Copies of this chain bind each other. A is one copy, B any other.
Amino acid sequence: MNGRDMYALAERLYPICRSITGYGLRQTLEIMAGAVPLEIEGVASGTRVFDWQVPDEWRLDAAYIQTPDGERIADVDRHSLHLMSYSLPGRRTLTLPELLPHLYSLPQHPEWIPYRTSYYEPDWGFCLPHQRLCALVDGTYEAVIEGDLSPGELNYGELLIPGRSDREVLFFSHACHPSLANDNLAGLVTTCALAQRLLSMSTRRYSYRFVWAPGTIGSIVWLARNQARLREIKGGLVAVLLGDKGQLQYKPSRNGDSEIDAAAAYVCGRRGGRVREFEPYGYDERQFASPGIALPVGRLTRTPNGEYAEYHTSADDLSLILPEQLEASLDALSEFVDVLEHNRRYVNLQPYCEPQLGKRGLYRKGGGEALPDRNIAMLWALNQSDGKTPLLDIAERSQIPFSVLRDVAAELESSHLLEGRGDAEEGSDS
Contact = CB atoms under 8 A, between A and B. Distances in A.
A269 interface: no
Contact of A370 (B115, B216, B306, B350): B306
Copies of this chain in the oligomer: 3
A254 B382 CA distance: 12
A358 interface: yes
B281 A379 contact: yes
* Residue in A348, A359, A366, A370 whose Cβ sees the most chain B Cβ within 10 Å: A366
A292 B353 CA distance: 7
B293 A352 contact: yes
Interface string A374-386: 0010011011111
Given A290-B352, A290-B354, A368 B51 contact: no
Interface string A321-364: 00000000000000000000000000010111111101100000
Given A291-B385, A382-B280, A117 B367 contact: yes
Contacts of A312: 367-368
* Residue in A224, A355, A356, A380 whose Cβ sees the most chain B Cβ within 10 Å: A356
A382 B352 CA distance: 44
A219 interface: yes
Given A50-B353, A280-B380, A386 B223 contact: no
A371 B51 contact: no
Contact of A383 (B106, B119, B280, B355): B280
Contacts of A50: 350, 352-353
Contacts of A292: 348, 350-353
B398 A279 contact: yes
A350 B51 contact: yes
A366 to B, nearest CB: 5
A353 B383 contact: no
B223 A352 contact: yes
Contacts of A279: 380, 398
A429 B117 CA distance: 42
A326 to B, nearest CB: 24
Contact of A290 (B51, B351, B356): B351
Nearest to A376: B281
Contact of A121 (B220, B281, B358): B358
A118 interface: yes
A120 B291 contact: no
Contact of A365 (B115, B118, B351, B382): B118
Interface in A294-339: 306, 311-313
Interface string A46-60: 000111100000000
A51 B356 contact: yes
A286 interface: yes
Contact of A371 (B281, B365, B385): B281
A284 to B, nearest CB: 10
Nearest to A383: B280
A291 B223 contact: no
Contact of A120 (B114, B293, B359, B379): B359
A286 B353 CA distance: 8
Contacts of A398: 279
